[in-house]
């Protein structure tokens, strides 16, 4: 299993991340990592943690499932967090001396699951402030538009706007009055520079946490499995969000604005590698 990316990250890929707020890095993880991640994901699906839930409403077609904090329960997920290329990729794109691992999440849209992922951006849902922040999507399947590949609005991380959190299907997130509603993007798609990446197992999509994105349902006969990460660089600081939104697993004992400590039981310093 590769500790570093299978190939160097090119200068134009770093530039694309800074310019667009999203970039697809092909072939970052080798087959051993992919197979290890797939097996670990199936274990969690078979025995969900207390954070596991269906996102699509009960009784609706298909199955859209998520779980959180798997690294706290499963040795293979912890190895992915601490021993895989995740930290180096994050440091390279964020141009950061250090990278803190905030959470991992699995997302699975099974075949014939029409549940949508609505337009949103991630930072209002997450307990981090700062500019050097990113999400990372490790693809475990061949994913196309038909199977629910995400769409991203290029440059939306530079709009200087924070949008109210939105309930996903079956979700319970509160909407904050102090954040503006998201525009009706689907009714005016030609006004936005929207990109979609088809992916293969081992590809990684990295996005700034303010980049607006969405995904259609999986209308194919293929699965759409992915592991998602949230990472913070040098300027990342702990944040508290409004009622009803996701929280750390436990009270981390930090105040809003505190830097993430190097040795914390919930936030792992994964770069430089220990």
Distance, CA of 39 to CA of 109 (rounded, Å): 16
Which CATH number does 11-271 carry?
2.60.120.620
Q: Which is it for strands 150-153 and 213-215: parallel, antiparallel or unpaired?
A: antiparallel
Which pLDDT belongs to residue 205?
A: 98
* Beta strand segments in the chain, E: 22-25, 53-54, 64-68, 99-109, 117-120, 128-129, 133-139, 150-153, 194-196, 204-208, 213-215, 224-232, 237-238, 268-271
Supply angle C-alpha 241, 244, 249, rounded to 5. Answer: 70
pTM over 0.85? The answer is yes
| 129, burial (CB in 10 Å: exposed 0-12, middle 13-18, buried 19+) | middle
State yes or no: pLDDT of 173 exceeds 70: no
What was the pLDDT predicted at 258?
98
172 pLDDT more than 70:
no
Contact 230, 100 (CB under 8 A): no
Span 40-54, pLDDT tens digits: 999 999 999 999 999
Closest residue by Cα to residue 146 from 82, 211, 196, 204? 196
In angstroms, rounded to a whole number, what is the distance separating the alpha carbons of residues 260 and 99? 10
pLDDT tens digits for 201-249? Answer: 999 999 999 999 999 999 999 999 999 999 999 999 999 987 777 889 9
pLDDT of residue 178: 80
The full set of domain ranges for the chain reads 11-271
The predicted pLDDT at position 242 comes to 77
Q: Is the pLDDT of residue 167 over 90?
A: no
Percent of the chain with pLDDT over 70: 96
Decide if pLDDT at 34 tops 70. Answer: yes
- Asked if the model's pLDDT at residue 171 lies above 60, the reply is no
- pLDDT tens for 80-99 read 999 999 999 999 999 999 99
Q: At residue 57, does pLDDT exceed 90?
A: no
pLDDT, residue 245, reads: 77
What pLDDT score was predicted for residue 179? 86
Residue 181 vs residue 57, higher pLDDT: 181
What is the reported pLDDT for 52? 94
Q: What is the pLDDT of residue 263?
A: 86
pLDDT value for 168: 66
d(CA 78, CA 26): 23
Average pLDDT along the chain: 94
Q: Is the pLDDT reported for residue 132 higher than 90? A: yes
Query: Mean of the pLDDT values across residues 114-137?
Result: 95
């Amino acid at each position: 299993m590769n500790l570093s990316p299978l190939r160097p990250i090119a200068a134009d890929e770093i530039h694309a991340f800074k310019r667009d707020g999203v970039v697809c890095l092909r072939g970052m993880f080798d087959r051993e990592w992919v197979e290890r991640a797939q097996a670990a994901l199936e274990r969690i699906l078979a025995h969900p943690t207390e954070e596991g839930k269906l996102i699509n409403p009960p009784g609706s077609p298909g199955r859209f499932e998520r779980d959180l904090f798997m690294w706290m329960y499963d040795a293979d997920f912890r190895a992915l967090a601490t021993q895989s290329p995740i930290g180096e990729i994050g440091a390279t794109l964020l141009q950061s001396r250090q990278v803190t691992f905030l959470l991992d999440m699995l997302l699975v849209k099974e075949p014939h699951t029409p549940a949508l992922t609505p337009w949103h951006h991630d930072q209002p849902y997450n307990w981090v402030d700062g500019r050097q922040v990113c999400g990372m999507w490790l693809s475990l399947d061949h994913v196309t538009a038909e199977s629910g590949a995400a769409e991203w609005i290029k440059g939306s991380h530079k709009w200087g706007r924070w949008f109210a959190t939105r309930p996903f299907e079956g979700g319970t997130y509160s909407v904050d009055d102090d954040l503006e509603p998201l525009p009706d993007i689907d009714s005016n798609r030609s006004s936005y520079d929207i990109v979609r990446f088809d992916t293969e197992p081992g590809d990684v999509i990295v996005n700034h946490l303010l980049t607006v994105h969405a995904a259609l349902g999986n209308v194919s006969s293929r699965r759409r499995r992915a592991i998602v990460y949230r990472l913070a660089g040098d300027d990342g600081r702990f944040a508290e969000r409004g009622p009803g939104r996701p929280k750390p697993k436990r009270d981390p004992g930090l105040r809003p604005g505190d830097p993430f400590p190097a040795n914390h039981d919930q936030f792992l310093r994964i770069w430089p590698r220990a």
